[in-house]
Structure 1
Amino acid sequence: MTDVQAAAYAAAVAKLLHAHGPAPRERLLAGCLAFGLSEEQANASVDRGLALSLYVVDPATGHLRAPQLLRREPTAFLGDGIIDARKDPDVARRLAILRVLLSTAPVAMWAVDQAGYIIYYEGKALEGLGLQDGQFVGQSFHEVFGEHACAPYVARAFNGEIVEVSWEYGGIIWQNWCFPLKNAAGEVELVSLVSMDVTEARHAEQELRERLTTIERQQRVISELSTPIIEVWDKVLALPLLGVVDSTRAAMVMTNLLGEVVNKASQFVLLDLTGVEAVDTATAGYMLDLLRAVRLLGAEGIITGIRPSVAQTMVMLGVDLGGIVTHATLRQGLQHCLRGLRQGKV
């Protein structure tokens, strides 16, 4: 009998122990004999399962039992040995914390040995999959999860790498940590995985991103509506400004307006301030920069609709409008443009 065959029979024994509880070695040997194995093969199979930690010997009764039952006993594995938690309060506290974590948090913890068998599998998060603690214990990891995306990450952990990765399984999004457990010689004996159900958090993140996208789209629409660029006549653009013009809005206005001047081959731009009730030094500076940029593109910038209060403020601020054509209304500014077009003036 090969080691692979012995491991397969050992896995079957582990399933029986998990399903029906501890049993004496003699009963398990009888079960193997019923499968047609010789006494030597039966003993080899049971011993193989012990070597692979598919099940353990209960020190109190001498019966074989699933390793999952060890969590109910006051013992813990540390390195190559077993420490009695009754003699080590610190270990007992850690086991208690682990029990609370696995029974209350949306996490699952599992472990795979070198032979590829699942030797530990439990946690509250398994309920979302309709699974029970220890359900896959004794089964081949490659048979249960071999086709799943997690397989290569487990292989990387067996090479000594700590891996953090997300994947979806059973309709649930899992955040996973795969890490190797080494013996005293530094060899990887087990790979342990901690999986956390982050489905709700991921859905909340997606919803938040969608809301932010919607808000940004709405802000762009509002900005475009508050600074519309209108082609009032062939080669004549009008830009009515409304409300407050800050640096962000001014930059957007300049980009959009200069683009339209080039696309439309415009010769005149009417900057209408009818909707502006107040200006400060910064706002005035934005408007002058805009008109200078328009002039660099070969078009003439004209200011219309300056309110008396705005005119007074601009004078007090010392804003120099020298060389810039101004008109009281948008209508008068358009008439100026039409005269310029008829005369071929730019």
Structure 2
Amino acid sequence: MAKIRVGAALAVLGALALTGCSGAADASATHGVAIVGYSVLEEANQGVEKAFAQTAEGQGVSFSESYGASGDQSRSVQAGQKADEVHLSLEPDVTRLVEAGLVSADWKDNATDGVCTDSVVVFVVRPGNPKHITTWADLTAPGVQIVTPDPASSGSAKWNLLAAYGSVLAAGSDDAAAQAYITSFFDNVVALPASGRQATSTFTSGKGDVLISYENEAILARQSGSDFDYVVPDSSLLIENSCALVKGHSAVAEKWLAFQKSAAGQKLYAATGYRPLASVADQTGEVTVEGAMDPAHPFPAVPTLLTIDGDFGGWDAANAKYFDAEGGILTKLQSAAGF
């Protein structure tokens, strides 16, 4: 099968800045789509939107867009922000909108279980990895400074912390050992920015030795000129970003959502570092992704790849156990660390 250089094909993405800004034509018309998404998605959507507009179903379609920390975006839609589609970091951020009566309860009843984009948790390090950070244990070594987003606002932060916690459990240890590890982890945290995108900006400005991030965010930043490396650890967590249509959505929004999940759409998301969804991965062919540590093999297999459903009981259980505002394990450990 021919190799497809998706990274080079989307030249429009090559010079994208890492600071957040959005806005397009009015999406209130029949052929408009108002997207409310989490911060890291912003640049990735541009190439997919451009390709959709070149299809018969997407001709004349305009997009309006809003991007920010996933939890904040979800609450904005709950408060009345216009949206045809929400594409958020976490399932609970969509569940909030189901409970508010804004998204149908059957939003996950499809071939991708309501997921539009996949990635994994990685370590972003300084060029050449001068502190030799390759494992989760390395993060707690004396003098290692960690940057990771704040789970109070950021979906990526929750993925990061569960990947860290789960790495201890996956190695055969218990919750007590995992909690001790997270305590040491927080001892080395020097910044908790509000979103995944702000965390990347904090790291690229010179703060910290390692950034815990999405693989796709690391790849996009390198495509945009950031000078750093990244490491895919042997134990990581599959990041599954949820997408759903909001009730009263425009007529074309369903076609847009289908295009995002198609092999063509997933190939374009791969251009900015997302791993193709399992439902169409065998249709996307080989891809070369510029900005990846190995562009010809951009998505290395992870020996221990945890999942939110298989290892944490799903997001309802994980949120209650780890992130409850009063009794969540990780919430309490973060508070004890002074954050």
Q: TM-score range by the shorter chain?
A: under 0.3
Larger radius of gyration: 1
Higher strand share: 1
TM-score (norm 1): 0.21
The structure with the greater share of residues assigned to helix is 1
Task: Tell me which of the two structures has the higher relative contact order, counting C-alpha pairs closer than 8 angstroms and 6 or more residues apart.
Answer: 2
